Amino acid sequence: MTSPAGPLRALSLPPRLNPLTSRHVAVIGSGAAGLVAARELGREGHSVVVFERGDQVGGTWVYTPKVESDPLGLDPRRAVVHSSLYDSLRTNLPREVMGFRDFPFVAREEDKNRDSRRFPGHSEVLEYLKEFAKEFGVEKLVRFETEVVYVGLVKSSDNFNKWKVRSKKRSGDEVGEIFDAIVVCNGHYSQPRIAQIPGIETWPGKQIHSHNFRVPEPFRDQVVILIGSAASAVDISRDIAGVAKQVHVASRSIAIEAIGKQPGYDNMWLHPMIKSAHEDGSVVFHDGSVIMADVILHCTGYKYHFPFLETDGTVSVDDNRVGPLYKHVFPPSLAPWLSFVGLPWKVIPFPLCELQSKWIASLLSERIMLPSEEEMTEDVKMFYSTLEVAGTPKRYTHQMPGLRQFDYDDWLAIQCGCSVSEDWRIKMYDSASKRKRTHPETYRDQWDDEDLILQAHHDFTKYFP
Ligand code: FAD
């Protein structure tokens, strides 16, 4: 079997039966990835400190109406707002699929304050993550309002590498500490990527990135060009169409027959990509059409960003490839002492982070072993060359489209001796993804996979008897 990470089962190793070794581990971030990493590390007997620069757990799911001083999110001096959620956001995955494997995301219908919809709003996800943190005692491991500002290697006397972590409290106090291992869980939806548009320097309109979009009201009666076609672009274009004069969606990946006015809307059009912008306020698309616009809204994704990490060039971000990383987690020469949780995208993040975390925790305790550094390096090289041969740009290194993520998840599960992905989860993800594409307006409220929901709930009785 092959996957975006190269041949999968070839390197699986049998579990080792040594007594477990406990390590002192720093986890950076208390979003979904950091919470589940802390839980798995704790379960495996490690001592864990979770650093969180915010004042509560949940990461991305902590909605704030606040936006940044630079609407494009590019000014390095701006005060960064972490979350990119907009007010109307509902999940784009059904809750059965989205939840952690052993802590299902089930609806709390008995509690009238909870959102029991199958694709709930963002505050329901935050409640779920808080419940998770409480249930597994993770919250007490978190140092809130404490930002990691530096992580670097130190040589210790026995020549065994350790990590120095410098963190800064909101009060300004800085502390330096030593850890055996670092697990980076800082999220990757806070540093905007924007589209390059010839002539944009002289174009007089306003530009904003979706990171700083919260509500449609500021776009009332405006002519808006929105760039992008991913889940948030689809949601935001519809949100804005409710108040804007016109919405023009420009997308690189658009079928020619889809270009033009959108069915069901009298003020929304689809276009190919923007070709150029001009001083007179006009924007020209690749099919030659021209629009006089007030705003360009970039729904063009995000960049990986690790401003605190100092590895002397061992790990770098090149065109949004974080590398070199073995299976998207470990730099071979620093494994298992430095790891990254949650880098893959176009995936179901929570269960994927859960499996990555189990793998990291079991490797640090030496319950299981990694291949040699040379073998891991070879595996990474093979993976990169597969991408190159397929013509896949570096920036898609961590993308796992379609059902590929399940090969990856199952490989991780096998490493850790866990069960592979549930059949219902794969089928439900597949059917929800198809409905999202074909019925973007209604997929959150109408579905035809009741049989899979029943199977999921039957499975969940293991955890909620
Ligand atoms: P985050 O949730 O971003 O958490 C990172 C944490 O690290 C934050 O709390 C941050 O404060 C902290 N941090 C960062 N730097 C530092 C530092 N230097 N020191 C200390 N702390 C630090 N996923 C789904 O499953 N379903 C969905 O429907 C869905 N919709 C989404 C919609 C949008 C608009 C976005 C942006 C994402 C969506 N996602 C969705 C993906 C979502 O990002 C993941 O579900 C998940 O929340 C990622 O968790 P994380 O822990 O990796 O990152």
Q: What is the pLDDT of residues 82-101, one digit of tens each?
A: 999 999 999 999 999 999 99
- Residue whose Cα lies nearest atom 52 of ligand 1: it is 187
Distance CA 180, CA 161 (A): 8
DSSP H or E segment with residue 292? strand 290-292
pLDDT of residue 160: 64
Ligand 1, pocket residues at CB < 6 Å:
28-34, 51-54, 59-61, 82, 84-85, 89, 91-93, 98, 147-148, 185-187, 189, 232, 308, 342, 349-350
Percent of the chain past pLDDT 70, that is, above it, reads: 95
Q: What is the pLDDT of residue 109?
A: 85
pLDDT-derived band at 464 (thresholds 50, 70, 90) equals confident
> Are 293 and 136 within 8 A, CB to CB?
no
Distance 342 CA to ligand 1 centre (A): 9
pLDDT at position 309 is: 98
Residue 19: per-residue pLDDT: 64
Predicted local confidence at residue 159, as pLDDT:
57
**In this structure, which long-range contacts are made by residues 341-344, counting pairs with CB atoms below 8 Å and at least 24 apart in sequence?**
341/33, 341/34, 341/36, 341/37, 341/183, 341/184, 341/185, 342/31, 342/32, 342/33, 342/185, 342/187, 342/188, 343/188, 343/304, 343/398, 344/398, 344/399, 344/400, 344/405, 344/408
| Per-residue DSSP letter, 256 | G
Q: For residues 334-357, give the mean pLDDT.
A: 98
pLDDT tier, 13 (very low <50, low <70, confident <90, very high otherwise) = very low
Amino acid identity, position 298: H
In one letter, which amino acid is 57?
A: V
Q: Output the residue whose Cα is nearest ligand 1's atom 22.
A: 29
**What pLDDT is attached to residue 256?**
78
What is the pTM for the complete model shown?
0.94
Output DSSP code: residue 121: B
Structure confidence by residue, pLDDT tens digits, 26-81? 999 999 999 999 999 999 999 999 999 999 999 999 999 999 999 999 999 999 99
Confidence band, pLDDT 50/70/90 cuts, at residue 247: very high
Q: What is the pLDDT of residue 8?
A: 39
Fill in the DSSP letter of residue 15: P
If you measure from the C-alpha of residue 188 to the centroid of ligand 1, how many angstroms do you get, rounded to a whole number?
7
Ligand 1 atom with the smallest distance to the CA of 34 is 51
> Which residue has its alpha carbon closest to ligand 1 atom 8?
59
* Substitution candidate for ligand 1 out of 55, 57, 60, 103 with most atoms within 8 A of CB: 60
Q: d(Cα 38, Cα 28) in Å, to the nearest integer?
A: 10
Cα torsion 192, 197, 200, 204 to 10°: value is: -80
Ligand 1 centroid from CA 185, angstroms: 9
Nearest atom in ligand 1 to 232's CA: 34
pLDDT of residue 364: 97
Q: Per-residue pLDDT tens for 350-383?
A: 999 999 999 999 999 999 999 999 999 999 999 9
| Among 39, 132, 182, 186, residue to substitute to test ligand 1 (most atoms within 8 Å of Cβ) | 186
